[in-house]
Chains A and B, each alone.
Chain A
Amino acid sequence: MERYYQPEIECASRETILGWQNERLVKQVRHVWDNVPYYRKKMEEKGVTPDDIKGVADLHKLPFLSKEDLRIAYPYGLLAEPLEKCVRIQSTSGTTGKRVVAFYTQHDIDLWEDCCARAIVAAGGTNKDVCQVSYGYGLFTGGPGLNGGSHKVGCLTIPTSSGNTERQIMFIMDLQATILCCTPSYAAYLGETMKEMGYTPDQIPLKAGIFGAEAWSEEMRRDIEKTLGIKAYDIYGLTETSGPGVSFECSEQTGMHINEDHFIAEIIDPETGEVLPEGEKGELVFTSITKEAFPLLRYRTRDICVLSRKKCSCGRTHVKMSKPMGRSDDMLIIKGVNVFPSQIETVLIQHGYSSNYQIIVDRVNHTDTLEVQVEMTPENFSDSLAKITEREKELVSGLKTMLGIGAKVKLVAPKTIQRSEGKAVRVIDKRKI
């Protein structure tokens, strides 16, 4: 039977949720207008005042906020509460070199941990579980967020943080951990290592995993589920909007429920900024309506995905977002075509190659080149060179069909592509533009 951490919220009627959103949005807009000169200026430039915002229907009138705004306003420019009310920061490295620093009041942390607790309960977690948090602790939101959520659910929490794989495995086995929280690439790495150590899935006590903070494919999910003998749940979030737990997967595993009592989601056309109807693919935009210290209005996440309000079998009523199909920061434009690393990963796994790969983009004689380095697997190896070459050709044509452009495949020996204990570095772009 499906269990919920806050059933009255997670299964509220659409009208109730919209009511909360209307009321909270109006209040939030007033809050930033009164306390954040940067926002007030942006709104004034667009000719909007708090009086224009009477509810969610008026959301489109507000200006967007981008990572660039965060960079300009760094470090205190978007802070909406006096320092005496703030108790913590979390931080992530920005793509432009400047770090993103997000601020939290005690109330903000409390609500964030509630969101993570909802994710853990949705993954089957109860106070009888032993939850190992192998996300990095410290400035990264993964560790602290899931740690807090795990406490709220009442799990016995093992704060291993990331790294030291041997010790991770020791704790999983010795303390009989039942839930694992980490990045999917690290989960895959742990699974691979445990398999090599001779553990079969039924010897591994884990039953569920909550994996996020980087893109991963359905094929990778199945791989992880098989090697660790678990059900793997996706979780989504970004430092700017609090951290993991903005949305999370339920038992249906067909998208992540966005915690709409705290966030309003929109999908926009990344080129024009126009709001797209439900079901269309575009850039995800979030407005945080309950954050005190670091509220973001219409923040452009750069994640490309689709929203769905289709009734979910789990009973939750909050809108679902698809797994991001790629970040537009990761999105590579190669020969004028949009390429997402996740598309490449899907093709690799379909062809029996491992999810450890590297993409190398270069420009030779004014033409973009794409090389995909792939580790040879036992199932694709043969004593016949012709067979290997034939399979390689199939992969090349699979990539061409998926991406629309040609890619060179380089087969490398197993374990030569670096395994990561944090976010995987998949792309090396050598182009100097």
Chain B
Amino acid sequence: MTIRQISVFLENRAGQLREITGVLCDSHINLRAISIAETADYGVLRIIADDPASASEKLLEHGFILTMTPVVAVEVPDQPGGLNSVLGLISDSGIDVEYMYAVLGGSNGKAYMIFRVADAEKLCEVLEQNGLKSVPGEVLGEH
């Protein structure tokens, strides 16, 4: 089960992020998760939106450069070492994580990690074999 993540090119200049959130807000799109990776000059804004299709459509209309990528959301057990066990599992399976970030409080108040890996389907399989579940977009409020 994968979730569609939108990544948008961010030029490192005042107000760029605000332009993006402005477009989404005007289109009544809610953000469920957000993460920024950046260098000194530019960055990539990664978002999980409640309506990925129309979010990407609106952003493209406004001339932003973006790409849609499947990512895997995993519920992190609510106990000490919860994240550690998930990471250990992934690392043992030999899957390389390109990047990951946390989402706190989905629609049910739980904590999730978003993983970007080369082979999302394989990660889902590994999780399933170990009794963990990749959660569908709806859990994060996608509709």
- SS class, residues of chain B in contact with chain A: strand
What does the 1/0 interface line of B24-59 toward A look like (CB < 8 Å)? 000000000000011101111010000000000000
Q: Are A381 and B37 in contact (CB under 8 A)?
A: no
Complex interface: chain B residues within 8 A of A376 (CB): 9, 11, 42, 65
- In whole angstroms, how far apart are the Cα atoms of A413 and B16 in the complex? 9
Interface centre among B5, B37, B46 (most CB of A within 10 A): B37
B94 interface hit (Cβ, 8 Å): no
- Nearest chain B residue, comparing its CB with the CB of A409: B41
B71 to chain A: closest CB distance in Å? 9
- In whole angstroms, how far apart are the Cα atoms of A191 and B43 in the complex? 29
What does the 1/0 interface line of A108-147 toward B look like (CB < 8 Å)? 0000000000000000000000000000000000000000
- Nearest chain A residue, comparing its CB with the CB of B37: A385
- Nearest chain A residue, comparing its CB with the CB of B42: A411
B134 interface hit (Cβ, 8 Å): no
Complex interface: chain B residues within 8 A of A385 (CB): 37-39, 43-44
B139 to chain A: closest CB distance in Å? 21
- In whole angstroms, how far apart are the Cα atoms of A385 and B64 in the complex? 16
CB-CB under 8 A for A383 and B65, given A412-B11, A413-B16, A416-B11: no
Q: Are B39 and A415 in contact (CB under 8 A)?
A: no
Complex interface: chain B residues within 8 A of A381 (CB): 7, 9, 65-67
Q: Are B44 and A414 in contact (CB under 8 A)?
A: no
- Nearest chain B residue, comparing its CB with the CB of A389: B39
- Nearest chain A residue, comparing its CB with the CB of B98: A384
B81 interface hit (Cβ, 8 Å): no
Complex interface: chain B residues within 8 A of A410 (CB): 41
- SS class, residues of chain A in contact with chain B: loop
- In whole angstroms, how far apart are the Cα atoms of A382 and B44 in the complex? 8
B69 interface hit (Cβ, 8 Å): yes
Q: Which B residues, 1 to 32, have Cβ-Cβ distances below 8 Å to chain A?
A: 5, 7, 9-11, 16
A356 to chain B: closest CB distance in Å? 13
Q: Are A413 and B11 in contact (CB under 8 A)?
A: yes
Interface size class of A (residues with CB under 8 A): 10 to 19
A377 interface hit (Cβ, 8 Å): yes
Complex interface: chain A residues within 8 A of B116 (CB): 383-384
B109 interface hit (Cβ, 8 Å): no
Question: How many chain B residues touch the partner (CB < 8 A)?
Answer: 23
A18 interface hit (Cβ, 8 Å): no
- In whole angstroms, how far apart are the Cα atoms of A278 and B69 in the complex? 56
- Nearest chain A residue, comparing its CB with the CB of B10: A413
Complex interface: chain A residues within 8 A of B42 (CB): 376, 388, 411-412
CB-CB under 8 A for A383 and B69, given A389-B39, A411-B42, A414-B63: yes
Complex interface: chain B residues within 8 A of A389 (CB): 39
- In whole angstroms, how far apart are the Cα atoms of A105 and B16 in the complex? 56
Complex interface: chain A residues within 8 A of B38 (CB): 385
Q: Are A382 and B67 in contact (CB under 8 A)?
A: yes
- Nearest chain B residue, comparing its CB with the CB of A410: B41
- In whole angstroms, how far apart are the Cα atoms of A386 and B98 in the complex? 9
What does the 1/0 interface line of A397-412 toward B look like (CB < 8 Å)? 0000000000000111
- Nearest chain A residue, comparing its CB with the CB of B71: A383
- In whole angstroms, how far apart are the Cα atoms of A391 and B11 in the complex? 16
What does the 1/0 interface line of A28-51 toward B look like (CB < 8 Å)? 000000000000000000000000
- In whole angstroms, how far apart are the Cα atoms of A389 and B39 in the complex? 9
- In whole angstroms, how far apart are the Cα atoms of A376 and B10 in the complex? 10
A378 interface hit (Cβ, 8 Å): yes
Instruction: Give 9 closest A-B pairs by Cβ, nearest first.
Output: A383-B7, A413-B11, A385-B37, A383-B69, A376-B9, A381-B65, A411-B42, A412-B11, A415-B63
Give the B-binding residues of A (Cβ under 8 A). Answer: 376-378, 381-386, 388-389, 410-416
25 A-B contacts (beta carbon < 8 Å) = A376-B11, A376-B65, A381-B7, A381-B66, A381-B67, A382-B7, A382-B67, A383-B46, A383-B69, A383-B116, A384-B99, A384-B116, A385-B38, A385-B39, A385-B44, A386-B98, A388-B42, A410-B41, A411-B9, A411-B11, A411-B41, A413-B9, A413-B10, A413-B65, A415-B63
Give the A-binding residues of B (Cβ under 8 A). Answer: 5, 7, 9-11, 16, 37-39, 41-44, 46, 63-67, 69, 98-99, 116
Seed contacts A386-B98, A415-B63; 8 additional CB < 8 Å A-B pairs: A383-B44, A383-B67, A388-B42, A411-B9, A411-B41, A412-B42, A414-B64, A414-B65
